[in-house]
Amino acid sequence: MASSGFRPLDDKSLIEYIKATPALSSKLANQLDGLQIKEVGDGNLNFVYIVISSSGSFVIKQALPYIRCIGESWPMTKERAYFEATALREQRRWCSDHVPEVYHFDREMALIGMRYLEPPHIILRKGLIAGIEYPLLAEHMSEFMARTLFFTSLLYHDTTEHKRAVAEFCGNVELCRLTEQVVFSDPYKVSQYNRWTSPYLDRDAEAVREDNILKLEVAELKSMFCERSQALVHGDLHTGSVMVTPDSTQVIDPEFGFYGPMGFDIGAFLGNLILAYFAQDGHADQVNDRKTYKEWILKAIEQTWNLFHKKFTALWDEHRNGSGEAYLPEIYNNSELQLLTQKKYMQGLLHDTLGFGAAKMIRRIVGVAHVEDFESIVDASKRANCERQALVFAKMLLKERRKFQAITEVVLAVQQEQS
Amino acid sequence: MASSGFRPLDDKSLIEYIKATPALSSKLANQLDGLQIKEVGDGNLNFVYIVISSSGSFVIKQALPYIRCIGESWPMTKERAYFEATALREQRRWCSDHVPEVYHFDREMALIGMRYLEPPHIILRKGLIAGIEYPLLAEHMSEFMARTLFFTSLLYHDTTEHKRAVAEFCGNVELCRLTEQVVFSDPYKVSQYNRWTSPYLDRDAEAVREDNILKLEVAELKSMFCERSQALVHGDLHTGSVMVTPDSTQVIDPEFGFYGPMGFDIGAFLGNLILAYFAQDGHADQVNDRKTYKEWILKAIEQTWNLFHKKFTALWDEHRNGSGEAYLPEIYNNSELQLLTQKKYMQGLLHDTLGFGAAKMIRRIVGVAHVEDFESIVDASKRANCERQALVFAKMLLKERRKFQAITEVVLAVQQEQS
């Protein structure tokens, strides 16, 4: 493979690149005639090409040194591709059922070649907007989160491997900074990037910027995000980073990956499910009032956390005598104490999850990047009503998160917000 | 300078080394005749030489690849000298009044040449045992802690420099692991290294190993120690790492330095002052009942925290519009909110401080490394009584730390423990 320096690929140069790269061309049985190449075009940050031949397929993802959806005016290191590839491989190591395989990574080109998630895989968010139930979603996502978070935490790592991994992902600082800005800062101040459904939510957006208690709580979450190296988090685990069929759930796009608080991932996922819930009324019509679907979403939220809890603590029990250095078996040596420590740990994790989940909801309503769940509601007044309900709920959740003892209480509070 | 590879120095080869090293020989005006070299001999971990000539002086500290006081059976990377030199320079950058100057560092030789803290400088711990009052101690130590912790935290750092520095100090993992073991693990389990004043404290040591609530709280502190990169902490800030005269306070030996929770440093210092307090009855005699001195120690504890609080929040106010990214001024934009955030931050820091301080006390009574404050009490029964009081207090403090709102309440509790 002849690669010298970075160059952005296009349909044509991509073919040359594939020809010169055995790890890719072999996936097509070295048969490159009649190759179909399609630029996906909906990537927020990167260029994504689907490459299909009669004998195989893959996806090529190339990071350019700026944020695609904004343009060259917002520079962003293409080194993010390195962290994405590294995170994908690490997550697949622990959860191969739900993470696509990386076939090839070229650091200089900031280019990843990976499995093409063939139809009927669609982005989960689109499925949620369409009102499709995914009976295995909670099972799969709880599996992904329990395994990737457990095996990269000090419950499994010894200190030496943990600090090595933490240090490596400190290099992904530009992406961490972006999160800090768009999740924990911009929504709480006047920013050129913020937007909301105006004029309906003008007062609501202002209220967020003037809410001292909310800002006090957000500061705590931001500190945790910046300072706490608990596990390798995906870093952007919303419903747009998950591809699904009724049988398959695949988590993609961990370019924001770093060692951070576990609750940031779990919160991102649950928070986006709650957003999907509050958006349903905007998608209801005479054919489908979405009532049943809303119940299913709540069930998915409840099951995801409860299954996560079950799987995570099961892994903990299973590896109690392993290399993890957080709770040495000679110290945590009786079942009462083991129960107490797990209960305290999981309670803290639930509160982190609710806090981060709420922050992720708020930023999707009054920050720079919105979600299709709401954006696809054409009637602005109707959309604003949905968004306001979600915002009111998220503000309450962020402030009152420590009062919730179980996910059922959270689900109940979601329902009450709408009644 | 001809250095190739590592070799342990002795009095003789040290002279050759100095000759070949302009940064050192120049400190002696290149006049090496009649040089006095004295190996200090009381270093727990390293070899320390005092070098004096008629025209100058310095100290040479060399790390060997094991722990000196235990021997080659406990290997320990000599790379710790690199982190010590790096931490010394960083701390001196922010607090030159209380950190000695590094003249020379040789990474391959794991060797630091630095200012000799000339007499009457003595180790603070020895002064506390001798019953000497240091009227400027609280002023100086609060200055050291406020400045070194503030300027290496996200209150001053932007995320980029913070993550770079965090990553670098992840390399000091062997020393972090040693702390994890001797502070957070060994005292709570049966370990060949543990010792205590036997048989008097046999039952007390056992009680520590059987106290579920204590272990639950220690786990939380250990997680914070391992996961939270709040600031560059000294990592071993007990009263043996401070050299004093009535006018001068110098903090040395930051080889355990890394990005960790601020409370670990403040707690180490205050916890060791509390140990010094509980040891006083063992040093009392007909000439000096130590009552006045005990009052002075309590005053020093109270003043250290209160001055730290004052200086730290003053730095925060002063740099509110600086590069620190934790609390952006556009968000934390009114005085009520600024007060709220500081109050919450400092309250959390007090609780961390008390927790870590208590853990540091406990490990000095039932763990591997004891303190001269107690060790110098010859009568074992008397020593055990002093140690038991300190242990009972520390256990209470660790469990109940969140109930304390101010340092005066802590000081009151210390006094009540003895009445």
Per-position pLDDT tens, chain B of length 419: 444 589 999 989 999 999 999 999 999 999 988 899 999 876 678 899 999 999 999 999 999 998 877 778 888 999 999 999 999 999 999 999 999 999 999 999 999 999 999 999 999 999 999 999 999 999 999 999 999 999 999 999 999 999 999 999 999 999 999 999 999 999 999 999 999 999 999 999 999 999 999 999 999 999 999 999 999 999 999 999 999 999 999 999 999 999 999 999 999 999 999 999 999 999 999 999 999 999 999 999 999 999 999 999 999 999 999 999 999 999 999 999 999 999 999 999 999 999 999 999 999 999 999 999 999 999 999 999 999 999 999 999 999 999 999 999 999 999 999 87
Establish if B351 touches chain A: CB-CB under 8 angstroms.
Answer: no
Interface probe, candidates B209, B223, B366, chain A, greatest A C-beta count within 10 A: B223
Establish if A40 touches chain B: CB-CB under 8 angstroms.
Answer: no
pLDDT at residue A66, rounded to an integer? 87
Would you tell me which residues 315-344 of chain B have a C-beta closer than 8 angstroms to some C-beta of chain A? 325-328, 330-334, 336-337, 340-341, 344
For residue B277, which amino acid is it?
A: Y
Among residues B171, B183, B178, B179, which one has the least CA distance to residue B84?
Answer: B171
* C-alpha pair distances (Å), A121 with each of A117, A125, A220, B177: 6, 12, 38, 45
Task: Show Cβ contacts of residue B210 under 8 Å, excluding neighbours closer than 6 positions.
Answer: none
ipTM of the complex: 0.96
Interface probe, candidates B157, B166, B214, chain A, greatest A C-beta count within 10 A: B166
pLDDT, averaged in runs of 10, over chain A (419 residues): 75 95 96 91 82 96 87 89 98 98 98 98 98 98 99 98 98 97 98 97 98 98 98 98 98 98 98 98 97 98 98 98 96 98 98 98 97 98 98 98 98 92
Cα B308 to Cα A317: distance, rounded to the nearest angstrom: 42
Task: Show Cβ contacts of residue B281 under 8 Å, excluding neighbours closer than 6 positions.
Answer: B290, B382, B385, B386, B418
Interface probe, candidates B79, B164, B170, chain A, greatest A C-beta count within 10 A: B170
pLDDT at residue B45, rounded to an integer? 80
**Beta carbons of B326 and A222 less than 8 Å apart:** yes
Taking CA atoms, what residue in B is nearest to A153?
A: B227
pLDDT, tens digit, 9 for 90 and up, residues B240-274: 999 999 999 999 999 999 999 999 999 999 999 99
Residues of chain A contacting B326 with CB distance shorter than 8 Å? 219, 222-223, 226
- Domains along chain A? 11-114 (3.30.200.20), 122-418 (3.90.1200.10)
pLDDT at residue B2, rounded to an integer? 43
pLDDT at residue A36, rounded to an integer? 94
pLDDT at residue B72, rounded to an integer? 82
Burial annotation A360-396 (CB, 10 A radius, 16+ → b, else e) = bbbbbbbbbebbbbbeebeeeebbbbbbbbbbebbbe
Cα A394 to Cα B418: distance, rounded to the nearest angstrom: 50
pLDDT at residue B148, rounded to an integer? 98
Residues of chain A contacting B215 with CB distance shorter than 8 Å? 331-332, 337, 341
Establish if A351 touches chain B: CB-CB under 8 angstroms.
Answer: no
Q: What is the DSSP letter of A100?
A: P
Beta-carbon count within 10 A of A69 CB: 13
Cα A218 to Cα A213: distance, rounded to the nearest angstrom: 9
Taking CA atoms, what residue in B is nearest to A222?
A: B326
Q: Is B416 exposed, middle or buried (0-12, 13-18, 19+ CB in 10 A)?
A: exposed
Contact B58/B17 with Cβ under 8 angstroms? Answer: no
For strand B36-39 and strand B258-260, is the pairing parallel, antiparallel, or unpaired?
unpaired
Residues of chain A contacting B220 with CB distance shorter than 8 Å? 344
